[in-house]
Every structure is written in C-alpha cells, then in structure tokens.
Chain A
Amino acid sequence: MRLVLAILFTAIFLSTSAKANVGVLKFESVFSAFEGGGAARDSARSRLLTMPSEELGRFLAEATLRLEKGSRDQVVRAFDIVRRRKDFDAARAKQLRIILSSTSAKRDVLETRLILLLDAKTGELSESRIADELKQVEKTDVPSTMRLSRLTGLTDAMESTSKAPTISQLEMLLKNDVFEIRMHAVDWFRLRPPTGVQDRARFLRAALGSNVLQVRERAYQTIASWPGDKIIEIKKQGGVLPAKCAADPSRAIQKACSEIREKVGPS
C-alpha cells in the first residue's frame, strides 16, 4: 500500500510539473515564429505589439527561461518588437535589459544595438558610454563591418533620445580609416548639425575636400537639403562651395550643385 501511495504521489507531482512547464511554454509559437518568416512571423509580431501588459509580463518570464536554454536569437528578435510597443517605457526597458544580462553570451549586431537602445530609453546612455562606443569605432585592428555596425547602433540609440554627437566626435569620424564611417559622419552631421556656424562650415569644408567621392556627394547633398538662408550663412564662412562643382563628373554632385545654385544663385 505504501508503495502504491509513493508511486501515486510521484505521479501526481510529475504530472503537475509537466502541466506547469506546458503553461510556462505558452509563447512557444511566438518565439519559434522568429526562426522562420511569412504569416507566422507577422502574427507573432502583431501579438507582441498588442498583447495586454499583464500577458507581456508572463511573456518576459518565459523569455528568461528561453535565454537560459540557449534560444537567444529568438528572444532578442522578440524584444526588438516589444520595444516598439506604445506602452514601452523606461521601467520595461530596464526589465528587458536585466533579462538580457541574466545570461552571458556572445552578442550579435542586433543585440548590441538593442542594448544601446534600451540604455538610451533608461537614460543610461551617458557621455562616457558614448565616448567608449566611439573608441571602439577607432580600433583599426577590428574588421570595418564590426565597427560600422557598432556606430550604427550608437546612432540609432542616440537618435531615439534626440541626442547629438559633438562636433569633435563628428570630425574624428570624418578622419576614420574606413571610408564608410566617413560617409556615416556626414549623414549624422546632416541629421544633427552642430549649432555653431563656424563648426558647420569647418566640417563641411573637410567633407567637401575629401578624396572619397561618396563623402563629397553626401556633403553636397547635405547643403542642397538646407534652406537658402542657411546656405548663405555657411557660404559667408568662405571656401565651403567650390566654384566648379557643377562640372564635377559625379551626377549626384552636379544635381546637388544645381539645387544649391537655384536656392542662392551662382557663387
């Protein structure tokens, strides 16, 4: 009889824990949708964006378990959707950050970027953190792909809180050995131009004088995107618009040049 009771007890215990596990894994389909594509992925995405806040809490608890079991990629992709929810606030960002830090793992480009975005949301993207990230971009022994992806992540994170790089940071990027980082410097300048006219003029002079065609193209396009009075303000600083830009072999430069001339007249 004792034996029967012991077996019965074990059976009930095992059956309950199995049920509990099944309960915990109720978001299995949401996570696994990020492995594939198409309709399953669309529906997982929509569920993550619209599920009530309490359900999201349960989802995050399950995410912790999945991280421990090694499904990091799925969790990161799911979190990247969660952060786009309308009710996503600093407290939630902190929660996601804690979950991601609960297990250590190699970080791919998406996760590195996600962490920067979460830190920006929680106000933990300090000046020193930004400087540290930019130092990574300077490392010439690291492949340019890694450096660029880091810089992109940092830009997105700073953009999400309307934080601007300093003029010296932009100038440093414009001197980077990787051509594409120089291009990014001009794009970032365009998104967040420094307030000082002299700073703007100095940066543009350097960009327009670059030996890299694509850097020069972007610099002209940046000027062309401005209103006339802003261009005149810069022109007064001298040396910003080379007179022969209309004759440049690049079609993009020719086009930008004629747009500038339309706004402010011939130099």
Chain B
Amino acid sequence: MTRRLLVFLIGLLVVGAGLVLTAQQTSANQPKTLKIVKSKAPPKRPASQEKIEADAVVRHIEIIQFANDRLRHLRGDEIDCADCLASSAGEGSATLKDKNSARICKDKWLDFYSKEPVDVRIVFGYQDSDDDNLAGDFLQRQQMIDRITMKCAEDNLVQACDFTRCAADAQGSVDADCFEREVRGPNARMHKMRVRLTASSISASDVVNRALKSEQDAKTEQATSEFYDGLNKADMLLYVGHARDGGGPDFGPAERRLDGSINYDHYRKLTPGLDQMTKELMKRGTTPKILGFFACESERWRTRLTNLAPKSGLILSATPNMPLEVGAAQAFAALDSAIWQRCESSFNRAVNFDPVPGKVEKYDDKKLIPLSLTNFYK
C-alpha cells in the first residue's frame, strides 16, 4: 500500500515538473517583437528595403510600410465597389438607403475639396517617454515625408504618394514642412492639396532638445501655433502624439519628476493641453472638416469636441497605451482616404488597416480598438 502511494506521488511529481517546464518553454517561445495580426499576407517588400532593414530596423518604417500594404489590399478588394469612393458613389447603389449614403458621401467630399489649396495638416506632438531619450515625433514626421514623397506605384492603389516639397517663395526660401500635389477631386477637377507636416521637437534626440532649450521652446511654440491655426484654417487637421493621460495635446517636453519619470499627476490635475484646446475652440467659428486625435484614449474628449466643434468629422482613439507609431500609420491611412475620397465604410476600413469585421487587431501584443470617422457623413 505504501509502495503504491509512493509510486503515485512520484508520478504526480513527474507530471507536475513536466507541466512547469512545458509552461515555461511555451511562454518563453512566444514572440514578443513587432507583430500585427494579419488578415491577409502583405506583398513582399523589394529586396533593397529588406537590405536596409537588416542594417538597422526602425519600427516606424515597418508599421507605415504595413499600412501601405494594407491600403493596397483594401483598394484592390474594393476595385469593383462603386459606393466606396465619392467619385463613383451612387452608380452601383441598389436601395434608396444606399443612394442616400452615396449622395451624402459625394456632397461631403465636394465640400472638402471646395477650397484651394486643400489644406491638410498633421502635427506631431512631442513624443518623449520614460525609457528612452528619443523624441519619436521627429522620426515619425520624417518617415511620413519618406513615404508621401515616394513615387506612386504603377497600380495606383495607394494615393498618399507623389507629393513634392512646396515651391520656394519669392525670396527663394523653401519651407521644409510643406508638401503638395495635384489631386483629382470628386467632380473630376484637379485640385492642389497642400500637406503640412510639423514636428514638435527640434531633433530626434531628447538630449539635444533639452540642451537647446530656447530653440526647443521656439519649436514648441511653432508647433502649437501650427495646430491652433489649423483648427481654424485646415480642411483636415490630425494630431499624432501623447494625450498625457487626459492632459490634452502637448507640443513640448514632458514635465518630469526628480527621478526623471514623467509627472502624470501634473497633467491629470492641470490638463494644460485640453484647457488650451478648449479655449481656442471656443474662440473660433469654423473648425476642420475632419479633426483627428491619434493619441491614447482621445475618445474621452468626444463630448467636449462634439460640443465645441459640432461640424467637424471626428477620429478619436479608444486604445489605451497606444504605440504612437500606430497613430502615425493611421494618420497616413486617413490622408490616403482623403485623396481617394472614401465613403464611410471604406474610410473606416482604411484607418483600421482593413480588419476582418469583428476581428481585433493587435500591435506588439497590444489590442487596438477600432477607429471610425464620425459626424462627417451626415
């Protein structure tokens, strides 16, 4: 009896130890690097791109490349969908409801393209963090420049490309933030679209930015005024940056504690960016036709923005701890959608990188809550 009990106990021990080891191996083998749940395999990148990445990978480049691949797939998917774009909306509509949606889509984009040049601004908030000395906004702006100044592919499935630097002014001066291209509007007329890409930091190094305080202050001021000026003048204004835990958009280096970590209490208590935005919105009559905040849980500002900018279409994020490179890629998708003049469902598929309906997208093992452009198609 004792021997049987001993064998039973040993058996239990063996199975238990085996389970512990298996569990450890399973968790250790889980890839934790950049990973996006893909519904379709993106096309293979050109060899030169892979060669570059083998040298030093910038995740910012990977995510925007991914977004570009997804946008190609989306357009390919919708190639026969007349109601997906304002230019053809209504041509394939069967029901009265579809016809109404198509008409609204067309009208909204006609309105969007009613001013010359079409004014699009993407302002990158100051993107520092606790753990590194990089100011991510500077690199994000740069990757956006790299991407939108690329030649469009022959298949023309992605349109956020072919931009060039704006021409020099009468004094021969070139503004490095300004890019433009001709875009065919919903009425088939050509329009000039001007995109301004503004970073908040003077360089990608938080060390340099803090050392050159007066220059950084001037840059913060410039990015701030670019954003608030855009609240009044831009057709589409997108903010990509920190929400400072509800404190609002921020264009300068973070307030820090003595140990160097970001002082979130300051932002939660004083909500400086949110207060300034509220004041600015209360002053102004017109607001952008599309206003987007690619920032952690910017969704919490919905009521305020709906009241203060009732005519603006809103893109807000409900994702907490959102990696900001995802926000930049979503802003890129919004730009592509504005050039294509996507109707509602197509626009929303684009900014979510075309997920299979109901499927949750992940990035770096973080869940991304789907976005949508609200209050625009009405």
Interface contact A152-B203, CB-CB below 8 Å:
yes
A109 to B176, Cβ gap below 8 A? no
Residue among A72, A146, A212 with the most chain B CB within 10 A? Answer: A146
Q: A211 contacts B203, CB within 8 Å?
A: no
Least Cβ distance of B15 to chain A in Å? 9
A-binding segment of B111-119, B138-146, B185-193, B349-357: B138-146
Residue contact B59 to A18, C-beta cutoff 8 Å: no
- Judge whether A64 is part of the interface by a CB distance below 8 angstroms: no
Given contacts A156-B133, A183-B202, contact A191 B208 (CB under 8 A): yes
Is the beta-carbon distance between A145 and B139 smaller than 8 angstroms?
A: yes
- From B90-98, B214-222, B338-346, the one touching the partner chain is B214-222
Task: Please judge, given known A-B contacts A141-B48, A156-B205, whether A74 and B215 are in contact too, CB under 8 Å.
Answer: no
Interface residues of A in 166-195 (CB under 8 A from B): 179-180, 183-184, 187-188, 190-191
Assess the B321–A108 pair: CB atoms within 8 A: no
Of the listed stretches A39-47, A53-61, A119-127, A199-207, name the one at the interface; the rest are far from the partner chain: A39-47
Choose among A107, A179, A183, A190 the residue that contacts B56 (Cβ–Cβ < 8 A): A107
B133 adjacent to A145 (CB under 8 Å): no
Q: Taking the complex as formed, is A81 at the interface, i.e. its CB lies under 8 A from any CB of chain B?
A: yes
Q: Once bound together, how far apart are the Cα atoms of A190 and B138, in whole Å?
A: 19
- Given A15-B13, A152-B204, verify A42-B174 contact (CB < 8 Å): no
Q: Which of B53, B145, B208 contacts A159 (CB 8 A)?
A: B208
List B contacts of A216 (CB < 8 A): 173
Contact B176 A213 (CB under 8 A): yes
Interface set, chain B 29-65, CB cutoff 8 A to A:
29, 31-34, 48, 52-61
Complex Cα distance, B139 from A145, in Å, reads: 6
| Closest beta carbon of chain B to A263's beta carbon, Å | 14
Flag whether A73 is at the interface (Cβ < 8 A): yes
> A252 vs B16: C-alpha distance in the bound complex, in angstroms?
69
B176 contacts A143, C-beta separation under 8 Å: no
Q: Count residues of chain A with CB under 8 A from any CB of chain B.
A: 72
* Interface membership of chain B positions 239-267, coded 1 if the CB is closer than 8 angstroms to chain A and 0 otherwise: 00000000000000000000111000000
Q: Point out the residues of chain A lying under 8 angstroms from B261, CB to CB.
A: 42, 45
Measured in the bound complex, the distance between the Cα atoms of B145 and A159 in whole Å is 28
Contact (Cβ within 8 A) A187 B215: yes
Find chain B residues with CB under 8 A from A14 CB: 13-14, 17-18, 21
Is the CB–CB distance between A77 and B132 below 8 Å? Answer: yes
Whole-angstrom CA separation of A74 from B17 in the bound complex: 28
A135 close to chain B: CB less than 8 A: no
Q: A36-B321, A73-B32, A146-B56 are in contact. Are A11 and B10 (CB under 8 A)?
A: yes
Interface residues of B, count at CB 8 A: 69
Residue of A nearest to B48 (CB): A141
| Residue B1 at the chain A interface, CB threshold 8 Å | no
Min CB gap B7→A, angstroms: 6
A109 touches B139 (CB 8 A): yes
Q: How many A-B residue pairs have CB under 8 A?
A: 186
Q: Is A109 in contact with B14, judged by CB distance below 8 angstroms?
A: no
Pair B205/A213 contact, Cβ less than 8 Å: no
Known: A17-B21, A109-B58, A152-B204. A213 touches B173 (CB 8 A): yes
Q: Which of A34, A109, A144 contacts B131 (CB 8 A)?
A: A34
CA distance A179 to B6 in the complex (A): 76
Interface 9-residue window, one of A2-10, A93-101, A233-241: A2-10
Given A77-B131, A106-B53, does the pair A221, B138 have CB atoms closer than 8 Å? no
Q: Which residue of chain B has its CB nearest to the CB of A7?
A: B10
Whether the Cβ atoms of B204 and A148 lie closer than 8 Å is yes
Q: Report the minimal beta-carbon distance from A204 to chain B, rounded to whole angstroms.
A: 15
Q: Which of A38-95 contact B (CB under 8 A)?
A: 38, 41-42, 45-46, 49, 69-74, 77, 80-81, 84
- In the bound complex, residues from chain B placing their C-beta under 8 Å from that of A84 are 260
Using A70-B33, A183-B202 as known contacts, say yes or no to A149 and B215 having CB atoms under 8 A apart: no
Q: Which residues of B are at the interface with A, using a C-beta cutoff of 8 A?
A: 3, 6-7, 10-11, 13-14, 16-18, 20-21, 24, 28-29, 31-34, 48, 52-61, 130-134, 138-139, 142-143, 145-146, 168-169, 171-177, 202-205, 207-208, 211-212, 214-215, 218, 222, 259-261, 321, 364-366
Q: What 9 additional pairs, Cβ within 8 angstroms, besides A72-B33, A73-B34, A159-B211?
A: A10-B14, A35-B364, A36-B366, A142-B52, A155-B205, A187-B208, A211-B173, A211-B174, A212-B176
**8 cross-chain CB contacts under 8 A:** A15-B16, A108-B59, A113-B132, A146-B55, A148-B204, A155-B207, A191-B211, A211-B174
Name A residues whose Cβ lies closer than 8 Å to a Cβ of B. Answer: 4, 7-8, 10-11, 14-15, 17-18, 21-22, 25, 34-38, 41-42, 45-46, 49, 69-74, 77, 80-81, 84, 106-110, 112-113, 141-146, 148-150, 152, 155-156, 159, 179-180, 183-184, 187-188, 190-191, 211-214, 216-218, 221, 225, 249, 252, 255
